[in-house]
Amino acid sequence: MDIHVMKRQGLSQREIARKLGISRNTVKKYIENKDHAERDRSKTKRKSQLDPFHGNIAAWLKEDMDYKATWIYDHLYLLHP
């Protein structure tokens, strides 16, 4: 369970620390850094370099799930040098 959720539920820092098995100082640090934690969650997902090839990879894996990453890499390289 998230420290911020537990705090909103009315648990004290000591109770949260005891339930999670962490230091009260750690709980305090997380509570004081709430803005930082929310900022991290709002980041957009980075695009993968493999996004343009997702269709190829999905089709190959649908055909045979035993293809290894090296096989996929080699075939992508042949198609898109």
Same domain, 31 and 52: no
Q: Do 33 and 49 lie in a common domain?
A: no
pLDDT for 28-57, tens place per residue? 998 888 655 555 555 677 888 889 999 999
Same domain, 36 and 58: no
**Which amino acid does the sequence have at 43?**
K
pLDDT class for 22, splitting at 50, 70, 90?
Answer: very high
Query: Same structural domain for residues 52 and 80?
Result: yes
- Looking at the structure of the chain, the number of domains it has is 2
If asked whether residues 57 and 78 sit together in one domain, one would say yes
Domain of residue 69, residue span: 45-81
Kindly state whether residues 10 and 34 are assigned to the same domain: yes
Residue 16 binned pLDDT confidence (cut-offs 50, 70, 90):
very high
Alpha-carbon gap, residue 15 to 57, rounded angstroms:
48
Instruction: Report yes or no: 76 and 54 within 8 Å, Cβ to Cβ.
Output: no
